Structure 1
Amino acid sequence: MRPGDDVMAVLARAVRDVEGAVARRAATPSVRAEFQAIALLLREERARVVADESSSAAYRSEQLKRLDGIAAILGRVAVRDSALLALLADDAIPSEGAKERRRDMLKAVGIEPEPEEPPVVEPAVDPALAERQVVPQSVISRQLANPFLAPDFEAARPAPARPRRLAGWELLGPLFSSFERAGGGAPACMELPEPAPWQVPAGLELMPHQARMVAAAAAGHRTFLLADEPGLGKTAQSLVAAEVSQAYPLLVVVPNVVKTNWAREAGRWTPNRRATVIQGNGERIDGFADVVIVNYEVLDRHVGWLGDFGFRGMVVDEAHFIKNKTSQRSQHVLELAERIRSRTARPLLMALTGTPLINDIDDFRAIWQFLGWIDDTQPLGPLTDCLEETGLTPADRSFYPAARQCVIDLGIVRRRKVDVAADIPARRIADLPVELDDKAGRSIRAAERELARRLVKRYESALAARESATVVEGIDHGLVRKVAGWELKDTSTKTAGENVFSMMRRIGQAKAGLAADYAAQLARSAGKVVFFAKHVDVMDVAEETLERLGVRYSSIRGDQTPTSRQKNIDAFVNDPDVAVVVCSLTAAGVGLNLQVASNIVLAELSWTDAEQTQAIDRAHRIGQTEPVTAWRIIAAQTLDARIAELIDSKAGLAARALDGSDEETQSSADVQLEALVALLTQALVQPEAYAGRS
């Protein structure tokens, strides 16, 4: 029989230690491991006592009461720190630290723990999902065109293992703990070389902080946790780093909302490299591309051929998406990284996230594993070498700052806006194009074609009815402007058919969920976010999306009383848990001070640059200590993109007029007219693009 009284005594002492530790400070990883070990052993001991028929009922009752007392203390401790509550769940996965502590407790009372069965490695592609796997025809064509292109397995082979002084130590727990207890206020950023003048496309320039990171890649560094705050150009840094590292073909795994933007940025920063985006089953991808961009949501369909494609580099954007190692997308990402390492000598691996840590320090685990710094149980390769070279063990206090630096030197790069304020403008607008490839998107494109066809019909009728003998070769641009003006004038009286206003509203509704999703990502990465929309229904969709994502928000609308409005403003400004304020562009575009945020999401376009600037100035005002970035969500390949270009072309006219320019400022009607002119002109130039159905 197991010596139950001895186990009970160990549990009682351990639970008192945990209770005292949590009362003094927040639970550290070692305290959480102790807490979970107690919960595991408590559950086992209860089952043993209940099943022990050789003892009297009175004895069993007494033992169960003692166990209930320990359980009650555990419950009180968990109430003080909500992060511990999840560890009491029956399906909670024991951490390696908790399993090790449980074994130590059993050994302390003379019980040899049962040997653990090796973990069952689940296949990356679940059999139930295997039939969803696809291989696009263009990928097959590429494979047939390169039948003798063999991977460099020899170059990727790891060096023979050497005897290790730290072989008997559990190191992952101390490594994670070192980032909680050994920071000392020092930034977690590797030492980067001085920037060098890199050859980038004309009209583009790397900022100094970007050039330093690229210089590290050029010097031979190949793994990076790039944790710069949003707005500091992580996408550009990654693409140029891939270029200087010759890490092609390059795989880029991203959230759906930024997929189109990655393709656009690849075209800007590496125009000599072909980029392709995987949509759905990949029927339209370019199998010969240098940069392959795929979103997490469709990764399961393509993981098979992606693993055999021969990538020499991999970038994972918003890498905190893979923090849950039990999720399918995390398993796919980790499998792809491992297959790339097995086939390529020193591939470029980059994890991009402004928020490497969301819940606790253990969120590092999946990211470090993707980068090849650790596996499930221990540090690997260069990290192990660095820890050995310190000459220290986790029993030494000085081990923790040394271990933290070892990890940082592997490639953690973290800069804040305030740290590089001299590198970036005090206020800038960053366009984020999104693809509307769902049913709503198809409907919008069909409606836009219908509007274009109506304009063409009106133009042709006017052309046929014209009495003038003057013949204009090609497109009569004067008549085009007249037709656009007639359409704009008639818009207010028409009751049927799409017009420029209804089109923009529908586009706003279709973008709302994507824009809110991006706002949530920003909030997790960089703190508070101001979200602007023009229409109430767009605000409704945004708020529903934020609620579904578990992001707290406040709302500023035109129909609120002054008291309610101020209450919502105060909640956003003063409550650290309120991450987003959803604002009406007309109700909150002026008169508010929202400088607590430095990131703004413009979910719908204004008709004038002045209206857009007023919204941005809610955060960009005296007292703002950080550069402000306005993220403008643009629906690609729609009227939205044309209007964005028109607004930009008119930007600054008001300022120039105030400074004495003779050029007239533009009104919202000018932009609306020019949008219709652009739509009609394109329909006349490319009639085939506007023929037929969607």
Structure 2
Amino acid sequence: IVIGPGQVEIDQLDAQERSILAQLVGATAVGETGAAEPLERRTIARVVVSPQSAATHLAMLCETGRLVLQPEPRRNPELVVPLVWDGGRPWEFALVLEPDDVASTRGETLAEMSAEGKPLPRPSRATLRGMLVRGSERKDLRTPRAILRSGLIVFEDRLARLAVTDSGVWPAGGGRPAAAGWLDQFERRGPIEFSGSQIDGLIDRLAAVADLPRLELPGWTGWRIESGAPRPKLVLDDSPSVNVDGGDDAVIDGDEGEGPTARLPRRRVAPRVQLAGRIWFDYAGILVAADQPAGGAADPARRVLVRRDRAAERDAIAMLPRYGATAPRTAEGDAAETVHHVEIPRNRLDSSVSQLAAAGWTVEVSGRRYRPAGSVAWNVTSGIDWFELSAAIDFGGVTAELPALLEALAKGSRSVELSDGSLGILPESLAAQIEPMAALAQKHDGRLRYGRIQMALLDALLAGQPQSRVDEAFERIREELSTGEKPTAEDEPEGFHGTLRHYQREGLGWLSFLERMGLGGCLADDMGLGKTIQVLAMFVRRQAMLREGGVAHRPSLVIVPKSLVFNWIEEGRKFAPSLRFLNYTGNARIGETAALVDHDIVLTTYGTLRRDIINHREIEFDYVVLDEAQSIKNAASQAAKACRLLRARHRLALTGTPVENHIGELWSIFEFLNPGQLGSATRLKRFLTGGRTSADVVARAVRPYLLRRTKAQVLSDLPEKTEQTLVCELGEEQRKVYDELREHYRLELSGRIGRMGIGRSRIAVLEALLRLRQTACHPGLVDPARIDDQSAKLDTLLEQLDEVLDEGHKVLVFSQFTSFLSIVRRRLDARSITYEYLDGKTTDRQSRVQRFQEDAECRLFLVSLKAGGQGLNLTAADYIYILDPWWNPAVEAQAVDRAHRIGQTRRVFAYRLIAKDTVEEKIVALQDRKRELAESIVRADDSMVSSLTAEDVELLFS
């Protein structure tokens, strides 16, 4: 584009002109000699404007009136025409097929028939013209003064743009636009005429042209142009490969081939490691190979022409590496240049094809189409004691039933053969739905069968399936089970001595729900919420119901840790005095076997049950209740196996920690409660590898059978402080040591009192009581050589700590014996449990208290009663254990008040540990009769010892 007739001095230009020229100069300024010259010479003859910047720069020149056209630069250089910039849409080059406007057989022209909406006959001749098109505007190619190959059109007085590519952008590197070849063609040859019979062939050939421009086909042609996104298709070859490169894995046969490969020995075929694939695109049923240069595709039979969407094709191809498809390698190991052929490793075929299908690809392997999975319809039918699950999966109009899917999954395949010979692809998401359903069921005639007890599990598995149908029986049981998730509160039964809190009455209602449904359940309330009380109320109600119904009496078996036997008996006497309890533990039980059926509640321990299971398995109990049921979390343990062998009408499990480490621990408890509910342990373990979703399904499946209330949930229903006594039964060795010491002091004191009287024997009595109390705590307090002996109180404490610490609570442990706290510390250290310690010798009391109060990792504080009874604020704790209680209520209250005081926002639970059949129990018996006496004994305060009688001493040492 010439800017002037000759060289112009820059100094002669005004400021605006210099600014415009500076923008125009860009990278190149060309002088009169044609050679590039530095801009600093300030003389410019002409400027080369790149096609990419022409729209910006030339529009700027037009706006300022500085762009003109020299129509006749040689003959009349003075003649210039100012040009206006046409800022509208670019013009397009288009091929337009026009009929010769001849009369029809009735004398009407095609134009007239078209105007009247009549069907148009195909003309005998037609013309293909090149036109400039913009919206409804049409201009002949001869209309412009010039069509520049740079993509600009010069009309009479204006400058406009010409669309240069399908995407409207300039070719990379400033190359000629796609329309340039067509412009040259029509400039040389002009319009092209055809006979009517040649039109179909013309359109078919035009579709195959690489740089197909815009094409307008009038209705009389019978053709239509369709547009739409292409559907990508991958055609893979799974035929055996032939090794022809003489590699190590080539197996050469003796004879030679024929034809072009006659000189190559034939090699034994082997399965392909890589499956070669070719990419196609489906345009409304018209297949186009990705490497085909055609700009469109035609279907003469349907008279449909489609234009290819190159951008969409490129996007689809670019996604292939995500699905395991790679460019094939050359002999040198380099990636081939073409992107239209790919390879997929055989061992990734199923997963790659599944992902491709999910992404909208059609896939064929050796002529067999792979179909993506669509919707899944699940159906549940009910039998007498089972539910059967069937399914139908839609694969693009072809349906596959569940048996075929299960068979494919069992083989590790992600494809299933369909009735039309195609293969259905099972995406990971669908396999993830089916496999857990199969893992927890029994297969029956290709369907999945679940036991009646697995109804909630099946319901949980179907929860995420929008298309599922169930029959009336299943729906009815589903509704019945749902009532267990929101139990109705029941009042205390007649004969129960006590008042239940609201959540406990709901628990009683839930136990009734389980009984009606014939289901086992797990009462998993937090520790301290009264699980035992709720079960005792249930036993009282059950006793009355059986009596009224005339049902034959059966005893109920309650299995507990050894430390809880006497707690159950004491609680039973207090709240359910009408029930007959039998302590079926220890050697004395051997003579009580016949009496089992004469009692309502038989108490035994897990250890005793292991030894007695041969006899107990023959008895049909009314209820079997497991207290601290986490004791059987290891399904392979002897205790768990023994519990599962028991027979009963109903089963219950009580635990504050149904899951201590992982949800798989539930299997053992629920296999006892409802055998088969969660399938086999192996299947459940495999199912739980599905991660969080699988765990959620199991949690939902056990929800009707598991009732858990935390202290936070029932906070408003709890008193500010709950106090309870834990009775500990001495082990065999500890009992022997205690009894020998007690007998020694009994004989010694009886003789001494007989000789000297009770008044002069008080010091000896106090010493004897102290030694017996120490032995009841731990034999090592009296004999250091026994520091590693078993201790009932220590075992009970550690069991309790395992539970409450695991729940995140903070705990205070008090003892007046620092030597006992030292033994506790040794056991805690062995378990790597973090704790703080304080006794009378501790100097940095405040820092230790502060750590316990503020450090979330330090959740246990051991405190001697003497050092910690006063002056400490330990409100971080909500559990308190007093290992050797001070029976003076004021002293004990001071210890409890370290946590239960202003600033405490949670309920406080205080537990006192008492050794069964020891002097501690005797002191309890004396409390009501001689409280001051009991207090003086424990305080080692002899001010009241003078009131002791010989009968009191005999009681204490009996």
TM over 0.5: yes
Q: Does the Cα contact within 8 Å between 2:583 and 2:602 map onto a contact in 1? A: yes
**Mapped partners of 2:271, 2:919: distance in 1:** 76
Cα deviation code 1:632-667 (max 9, x no counterpart): 01012211113345567788x9xxxxxxxxxxx989
Shift of residue 263, structure 1, vs aligned partner: 2.1
Shift of residue 432, structure 1, vs aligned partner: 0.9
Shift of residue 523, structure 1, vs aligned partner: 2.7
Task: Show the counterpart of 1:330.
Answer: 640
Task: Show the counterpart of 1:272.
Answer: 578
Shift of residue 571, structure 1, vs aligned partner: 4.7
The 3-state SS of whatever aligns with 2:713 is helix
**Mapped partners of 2:888, 2:825: distance in 1:** 25
Q: Does the Cα contact within 8 Å between 1:322 and 1:329 map onto a contact in 2? A: yes
Q: Quick one: which of 764, 772, 782 aligns to 1:503?
A: 772
Task: Show the counterpart of 1:426.
Answer: 720
Shift of residue 207, structure 1, vs aligned partner: 2.5
Q: Does the Cα contact within 8 Å between 2:749 and 2:765 map onto a contact in 1? A: no
Q: Quick one: which of 193, 196, 213 aligns to 2:488?
A: 193
Structure 1 residues 207-606: aligned runs within 5 Å: 207-218=501-512, 220=516, 222-246=519-543, 248-281=554-587, 282-283=589-590, 285=592, 286-288=595-597, 289-336=599-646, 340=647, 344=648, 347-372=649-674, 374-375=676-677, 377=679, 404-405=699-700, 407-409=702-704, 411-461=705-755, 483-489=757-763, 499-509=768-778, 510-520=791-801, 521-525=803-807, 527-548=809-830, 551-562=833-844, 565-566=845-846, 568-606=848-886
Q: Does the Cα contact within 8 Å between 2:834 and 2:858 map onto a contact in 1? A: yes
**Mapped partners of 2:273, 2:668: distance in 1:** 40
Q: Does the Cα contact within 8 Å between 2:762 and 2:945 map onto a contact in 1? A: no
Over 3 Å counting, the alpha-carbon distance change for 1:636 and 1:408 in structure 2 is: same
Over 3 Å counting, the alpha-carbon distance change for 1:640 and 1:506 in structure 2 is: same
Over 3 Å counting, the alpha-carbon distance change for 1:559 and 1:265 in structure 2 is: same
Which residue identity does 2:812 align to in structure 1? V
Shift of residue 440, structure 1, vs aligned partner: 2.2
Q: Does the Cα contact within 8 Å between 1:529 and 1:597 map onto a contact in 2? A: yes
Which residue identity does 1:542 align to in structure 2? V
Q: Does the Cα contact within 8 Å between 1:515 and 1:603 map onto a contact in 2? A: no
The 3-state SS of whatever aligns with 2:841 is coil
Give me the TM-score of the superposition, normalised by structure 1: 0.59
Q: Which runs of 5+ in 2 are unaligned?
A: 1-248, 250-269, 275-321, 324-346, 348-405, 417-443, 465-482, 547-553, 682-689, 779-790
Q: Does the Cα contact within 8 Å between 1:236 and 1:265 map onto a contact in 2? A: yes
Over 3 Å counting, the alpha-carbon distance change for 1:639 and 1:484 in structure 2 is: farther
Shift of residue 257, structure 1, vs aligned partner: 1.7
The 3-state SS of whatever aligns with 1:632 is strand
The 3-state SS of whatever aligns with 2:522 is strand
Query: For the pair shown, which has the larger CA radius of gyration, 1 or 2?
Result: 2
Over 3 Å counting, the alpha-carbon distance change for 1:304 and 1:399 in structure 2 is: closer
**Mapped partners of 2:412, 2:815: distance in 1:** 60
Which residue identity does 2:712 align to in structure 1? V
Task: Show the counterpart of 1:88.
Answer: none
The 3-state SS of whatever aligns with 1:325 is coil
Q: Does the Cα contact within 8 Å between 1:255 and 1:317 map onto a contact in 2? A: yes
Cα deviation code 1:52-96 (max 9, x no counterpart): xxxxxxxxxxxxxxxxxxxxxxxxxxxxxxxxxxxxxxxxxxxxx
The 3-state SS of whatever aligns with 1:311 is strand
Aligned residues: 476
Shift of residue 325, structure 1, vs aligned partner: 1.4
Which residue identity does 1:205 align to in structure 2? T
Shift of residue 237, structure 1, vs aligned partner: 1.0
Q: Does the Cα contact within 8 Å between 2:556 and 2:623 map onto a contact in 1? A: yes
Which residue identity does 2:585 align to in structure 1? Q
Q: Does the Cα contact within 8 Å between 2:557 and 2:602 map onto a contact in 1? A: yes
Over 3 Å counting, the alpha-carbon distance change for 1:617 and 1:164 in structure 2 is: farther
Over 3 Å counting, the alpha-carbon distance change for 1:290 and 1:551 in structure 2 is: farther
Q: Does the Cα contact within 8 Å between 1:172 and 1:377 map onto a contact in 2? A: no
The 3-state SS of whatever aligns with 1:555 is strand
Which residue identity does 2:604 align to in structure 1? V
Shift of residue 235, structure 1, vs aligned partner: 0.9
Cα deviation code 1:596-616 (max 9, x no counterpart): 222111111225222211111
Which residue identity does 2:634 align to in structure 1? N
Q: Quick one: which of 491, 500, 503 aligns to 1:206?
A: 500
Which residue identity does 1:238 align to in structure 2? V
The 3-state SS of whatever aligns with 1:517 is helix
Which residue identity does 1:587 align to in structure 2? A
Over 3 Å counting, the alpha-carbon distance change for 1:354 and 1:5 in structure 2 is: farther
Cα deviation code 1:298-323 (max 9, x no counterpart): 33211111111221111111112222
Q: Does the Cα contact within 8 Å between 1:605 and 1:644 map onto a contact in 2? A: no
Which residue identity does 1:531 align to in structure 2? V
Residues 231-240 or 435-444, more deviating:
435-444
**Mapped partners of 1:197, 1:263: distance in 2:** 20
Higher strand share: 2
Which residue identity does 1:323 align to in structure 2? K
Q: Does the Cα contact within 8 Å between 1:573 and 1:596 map onto a contact in 2? A: yes
Q: Which runs of 5+ in 1 are unaligned?
A: 7-15, 18-40, 42-99, 111-160, 180-187, 380-394, 463-482, 493-497, 654-664
**Mapped partners of 2:607, 2:733: distance in 1:** 17
Shift of residue 404, structure 1, vs aligned partner: 4.9
The 3-state SS of whatever aligns with 1:506 is helix
**Mapped partners of 1:209, 1:373: distance in 2:** 28
Residues 285-294 or 671-680, more deviating:
671-680
Residues 580-589 or 239-248, more deviating:
239-248
**Mapped partners of 1:318, 1:668: distance in 2:** 32
**Mapped partners of 1:367, 1:162: distance in 2:** 31
Q: Does the Cα contact within 8 Å between 2:814 and 2:864 map onto a contact in 1? A: yes
Over 3 Å counting, the alpha-carbon distance change for 1:491 and 1:194 in structure 2 is: closer
Task: Show the counterpart of 2:909.
Answer: 629
Over 3 Å counting, the alpha-carbon distance change for 1:426 and 1:549 in structure 2 is: same
Which residue identity does 1:524 align to in structure 2? D
Shift of residue 256, structure 1, vs aligned partner: 1.7
Percentage of identical aligned residues: 24
Which residue identity does 2:733 align to in structure 1? K
**Mapped partners of 1:292, 1:244: distance in 2:** 17
Which residue identity does 2:532 align to in structure 1? T
Which residue identity does 1:349 align to in structure 2? R
Q: Does the Cα contact within 8 Å between 1:643 and 1:675 map onto a contact in 2? A: no
Q: Which has the higher contact order (CA 8 A, sep 6+)?
A: 1
Q: Does the Cα contact within 8 Å between 2:728 and 2:793 map onto a contact in 1? A: no
